[in-house]
Amino acid sequence: MTTEQRTFMQVARAFLDREVIPRRMEWDRRESVDRGVIAALGELGFFGITFPQEYGGSGGDNVMYAIAMEELGRADSSVRGIVSVSSGLAGKIILAFGTHEQKQQWLPGICAGTTLACFGLTEPDYGSDPGSLATTAVRDGSDYLLTGQKMFITNASWSQVCVVFARTGGPGPKGISAFLVPLDAPGVRTREIHGKLGLRGQVTSEIYLQDVRVPAEAMLGEEGQGFSIAMYSLDKGRVSVGAGCVGIMAGCLEESVRYAQERTQFGRPLAAFQLVQSMIADISTETDVARMLVWRAADLIDRGEPFGTEASKAKLYASEAAVRAANQSVQVFGGYGYVDEYPAQKYLRDARVMTLYEGTSQIQRLLIGRAETGVSAFLSPGA
């Protein structure tokens, strides 16, 4: 870690220890984080880390971004998700593919955290196979009319803008384009999904689009480029999810060690029992492995080298290891790990989704397998 990265980590951790960790269970129970904290994270620069200063970013590198995501994941994955979807998934697409006007319109607000953005790829019938998505965008004079439904969209009900992927051409990935759709446009409706296992503090919604009119200038990138744009974004997003998982694991380690030192049974602290130490040793070792995989992928991005397979490996390993770590942490806490007075069960519930979204573990294995063998197991043409 460089001095700058270490300083950022210390400032971030001090803020999150003070403002997020003491309140995360309350937010989890009421299914909503405090919006004031999101605004404060914007002021502290969490949303703009890898963005140029001209848009209000700090021009930091991707390792710095991974450190920020780890700290957010250690504190509360719901908060991490709000930041990483808005600035990481949606914002980075606008930076990479947006026109001058699109960047001017959306990036300053996204970097400041005053505008939230979301990423609308998944549909009710197309999750792992987004290349087949059914939402349509039909040309109407100088506009497009978008109609369809998006599913499980993080931030949607809180966002001002969504990157919507819709079909402008024939079947398959090459018929998909991306659009910047203001969520207050006539014809847009969102519906919050409640009762999630984890990530309860962040809003996840369905988006309904009925003849939503956007000007042709709202298209992001070229017509037919939408699928590549989505994959570009998800590759980077996987590093962010992986980093968030490292944060979950670091939190599990810290809390498990503290509890094992404080709690006594048989007249000795739990930490003195070798079988308890064994669980803690596994969490500690897997945390280090996951962090190294995440940082390798982040460093490759910073060097401008190919990183997609490394991002998949980081996400695959870190997400599955986070579930193992959180499960072990519940075990270290015993019965107290099963109730929400202690953080172990929240880490486990939050970790569980990490193997599902931004490409399930099976999809990561297919991507890694394709890179290793040169043979695609995907059925979608061109996926």
Ligand X SMILES: Cc1cc2nc3c(=O)[nH]c(=O)nc-3n(C[C@H](O)[C@H](O)[C@H](O)COP(=O)(O)OP(=O)(O)OC[C@H]3O[C@@H](n4cnc5c(N)ncnc54)[C@H](O)[C@@H]3O)c2cc1C
Q: Which is nearer to ligand X, 275 or 379 (CB)?
A: 379
CA atoms of 308 and 90, how far apart (whole Å): 18
Task: Classify residue 372 by its DSSP letter.
Answer: H
Closest residue by beta carbon to ligand X: 127
Contact 283, 260 (CB under 8 A): no
Contacts with ligand X in 137-166 (CB under 6 A)?
152-154
**Chosen residue from 8, 119, 227, 317 binding ligand X by CB under 6 A:** 119
**Chosen residue from 229, 357, 364, 367 binding ligand X by CB under 6 A:** 357
Listed ranges 259-267, 291-299, 310-318, 353-361: which one lies at the site for ligand X (CB under 6 A): 353-361
Encoding tokens for residue 266?
């048989």
Listed ranges 104-112, 114-122, 183-191, 270-278: which one lies at the site for ligand X (CB under 6 A): 114-122
**Chosen residue from 85, 146, 270, 344 binding ligand X by CB under 6 A:** 85
Q: Which is nearer to ligand X, 243 or 270 (CB)?
A: 243
Residue with the two structure tokens 């309860």:
200
358 is catalytic: yes
CA atoms within 13 A of residue 56's CA, in its CB half-sphere = 22
**Chosen residue from 199, 241, 276, 354 binding ligand X by CB under 6 A:** 199
Listed ranges 94-102, 132-140, 303-311, 359-367: which one lies at the site for ligand X (CB under 6 A): 359-367
Beta bridge partners, 209, equal 148, 188
Q: What are phi and psi of 264, to 5 degrees?
A: -115, 145
Q: State the nearest-atom distance from the C-beta of 155 to ligand X, in Å.
A: 7
Q: Which is nearer to ligand X, 159 or 327 (CB)?
A: 159
- CA distances from residue 382 to 56, 219, 376 in whole angstroms, order as listed: 37, 22, 9
State yes or no: residue 353 binds ligand X (CB under 6 A).
Answer: yes
Q: What are phi and psi of 280, to 5 degrees?
A: -65, -40
**Chosen residue from 75, 95, 121, 133 binding ligand X by CB under 6 A:** 121
What DSSP element (H or E) covers 103? helix 100-112
- The C-alpha R_g of the chain, in whole angstroms, comes to 21
CA atoms of 264 and 55, how far apart (whole Å): 53
Encoding tokens for residue 113?
């955290």
State yes or no: residue 90 binds ligand X (CB under 6 A).
Answer: no
- CA distances from residue 236 to 91, 165, 247, 297 in whole angstroms, order as listed: 12, 18, 17, 9
CA atoms of 105 and 91, how far apart (whole Å): 12
Tell me how far the alpha carbon of residue 233 is from its chain's centroid: 11
Contacts with ligand X in 275-294 (CB under 6 A)?
none
Exactly one of 70, 206, 286, 358 is catalytic; which is it? 358
With CB under 6 A as the rule, give the number of residues binding ligand X: 22
Q: Which is nearer to ligand X, 128 or 225 (CB)?
A: 128
State yes or no: residue 220 binds ligand X (CB under 6 A).
Answer: no
Contact 248, 347 (CB under 8 A): yes
- CA distances from residue 21 to 33, 41, 68 in whole angstroms, order as listed: 11, 14, 15
**Chosen residue from 52, 127, 182, 187 binding ligand X by CB under 6 A:** 127
Contacts with ligand X in 329-348 (CB under 6 A)?
none
Q: Which is nearer to ligand X, 8 or 357 (CB)?
A: 357
Q: State the nearest-atom distance from the C-beta of 10 to ligand X, in Å.
A: 30
Binding site for ligand X (CB under 6 A): 85, 118-122, 127-128, 152-154, 196, 199, 204, 353, 356-358, 360, 362-363, 366
Active-site residues, by number, are 358
